[in-house]
Amino acid sequence: MTSLGFLRHLRIGVKDLLRHKLRSFLTMLGVVFGVGSVVAMLAVGEGASSQALAEIRKLGSNNILLSSVKPAEEETQQRPSMMAVYGLLYEDDARLRETIPHVRRTVPARILRRDGALGERRVELRLVATTPDWFDLVRREIIAGRTLLRRDAERMAPVCVLTEAGARRLLAGAHSVGERVRIGSELFEVIGILRNESGGGAIETPDEELDAYIPLGVAQKLFGEVSVRHSQGSREMERVELHRIIVEVDAIDHVEKVASAIEAMLSRCHRKKDYRISVPLALLRQAETTKRTFNMVLGSIAGISLLVGGIGIMNIMLASVTERTREIGIRRAIGARRRQIVAQFLLESVVLSGAGGVVGLGLGVLIPKMITRFSGMPTVVPLYSLMLSFGISAAIGVVFGLYPAWRAAMLDPIAALRHE
């Protein structure tokens, strides 16, 4: 078909569709809602999975996170007068560095709960006693000042780094860096403030909103090794040497092998399961697999709407063939070929589905924006979903318009001219 012939067929097709505006509009709605639902559902799924993947990536694909966990039997058997002893040990940290291949470094951390005070302002802080390497593995933006340095640990300096939320609540109206705040019964100099980026979802991140970071040696010296935990009005005593150890592996290919070696080592050295191992790389792979499955399911469900829209197009095109039987007979009588009749009706079907696809794309982009605005749920409209949805809508015009076009072309010219 020449370009001139194509334009003539297109003009005739659009003219016929506009002649029945309401019918064409109602037929297009099936494609509009089908395309819109495909784009919107994929955007919601992409947004949810992207948020989870971003949280996992914050933990570092080369890192392995070890956490102390109170065994269930101790939770049920402990009496108020008894002290619970469990969790990771300084010996575990040393063994990890010295005995397991491919471990680049380890970052131990002890976590305490203490009240922070400055004048009349009070806030409960999560005190993270750790080494300067923490800030290399848990990367956060420095808003002001600096993080812990090795010289702070060496000279046992009572210094702390606050998170943005903690600094805002504790230092409101005061100079931030250089201010001296009371944590527990001890004075600490604020040397830096970090941006908050805690996960707040299903993925457990090493940092929280109200953290204060101090050198590990200072915590041992000032706060000892026994923690008091308040639970439902009672005081529970517990001794945990290290609450976390972050293990950095030298290469991503060695992460899962190192995680298996750590599991074997800890199971030999601990009589009870008082630790948990989290491997962000494994979580990342699992989340990516779940994301693909989720998108396939959502796409399949939304694709049913497109199928319904395609059936509507076939129905309206069959009706159009019936209405225009005499017109088809006249065109065949004056020399129109069957392939030209096929092209005419097929083009009308594609125009109908294509126009519905364009409107559906606009609807599909608008719905995720409204969801994000009113619910706060993150949504992402990937380019492939727009291209895929429009491509499917155009293909539906071809597939479901082919039979009506073939039926129109196969009409007998003599019988068509007699049709009333």
Give the lowest-confidence range in 76-90, 205-219, 346-360: 76-90
**pLDDT (mean) for 259-274:** 90
- Total of domains in the chain: 2
Q: Closest Cα to residue 88, out of 108, 60, 64, 59?
A: 108
User: Do 333 and 239 sit in the same domain of this protein?
Assistant: no
Cα 401 to Cα 249, 318, 353, 406: the distances in Å are 58, 9, 10, 9
Residue 412: give the domain boundaries: 3-56+286-418
**pLDDT (mean) for 41-49:** 80
The residue among 3 and 417 whose pLDDT is bigger is 417
Residue 186 lies in a domain: yes
pLDDT for res 108: 94
Residue 176 lies in a domain: yes
The confidence band for 201, taking pLDDT boundaries of 50, 70 and 90, is: very low
DSSP result, 90-147: HHHHHHHHHHSTTEEEEEEEEEEEEEEEETTEEEEEEEEEE-TTHHHHS---EEEE--
Containing 202, the helix (H) or strand (E) segment is none
User: Do 34 and 121 sit in the same domain of this protein?
Assistant: no
- pLDDT exceeds 70 at position 9: no
Residue 157 near residue 215 (C-beta atoms within 8 A): yes
pLDDT for res 197: 67
pLDDT for res 13: 61
pLDDT for res 213: 94
How far is the C-alpha of 87 from the C-alpha of 69, rounded, in Å?
Answer: 6
User: Do 305 and 227 sit in the same domain of this protein?
Assistant: no
Domain closes at, from 273, 299, 319: 273
The confidence band for 330, taking pLDDT boundaries of 50, 70 and 90, is: confident
The confidence band for 235, taking pLDDT boundaries of 50, 70 and 90, is: low
pLDDT for res 419: 58
User: Do 217 and 110 sit in the same domain of this protein?
Assistant: yes
Position 129: which residue type? A
pLDDT for res 354: 84
> Mind listing the pLDDT tens digit for each residue in 86-118?
889 999 999 999 999 999 999 999 998 888 888
- pLDDT exceeds 70 at position 80: no
The confidence band for 160, taking pLDDT boundaries of 50, 70 and 90, is: very high
User: Do 192 and 52 sit in the same domain of this protein?
Assistant: no
- pLDDT exceeds 60 at position 184: yes
**Strand-pair partners of 107:** 246
User: Do 178 and 116 sit in the same domain of this protein?
Assistant: yes
- Please tell me whether the overall predicted TM-score, pTM, comes out greater than 0.75 for this model: no
The per-residue pLDDT of the chain, averaged, comes to 80
The confidence band for 202, taking pLDDT boundaries of 50, 70 and 90, is: very low
> Mind listing the pLDDT tens digit for each residue in 366-399?
988 998 888 878 888 888 888 888 888 888 888 8
Percent of all residues in the chain with a pLDDT value above 70, rounded to a whole number: 83
User: Do 130 and 42 sit in the same domain of this protein?
Assistant: no
The residue among 303 and 136 whose pLDDT is bigger is 136
- pLDDT exceeds 70 at position 326: yes
User: Do 109 and 240 sit in the same domain of this protein?
Assistant: yes
User: Do 200 and 122 sit in the same domain of this protein?
Assistant: yes
User: Do 99 and 238 sit in the same domain of this protein?
Assistant: yes
pLDDT for res 371: 87
**pLDDT (mean) for 152-172:** 88
Residue 377 lies in a domain: yes
How far is the C-alpha of 161 from the C-alpha of 167, rounded, in Å?
Answer: 9
pLDDT for res 200: 46
Residue 58 near residue 67 (C-beta atoms within 8 A): no
User: Do 10 and 112 sit in the same domain of this protein?
Assistant: no
pLDDT for res 107: 93
How far is the C-alpha of 249 from the C-alpha of 61, rounded, in Å?
Answer: 9
Residue 280 lies in a domain: no
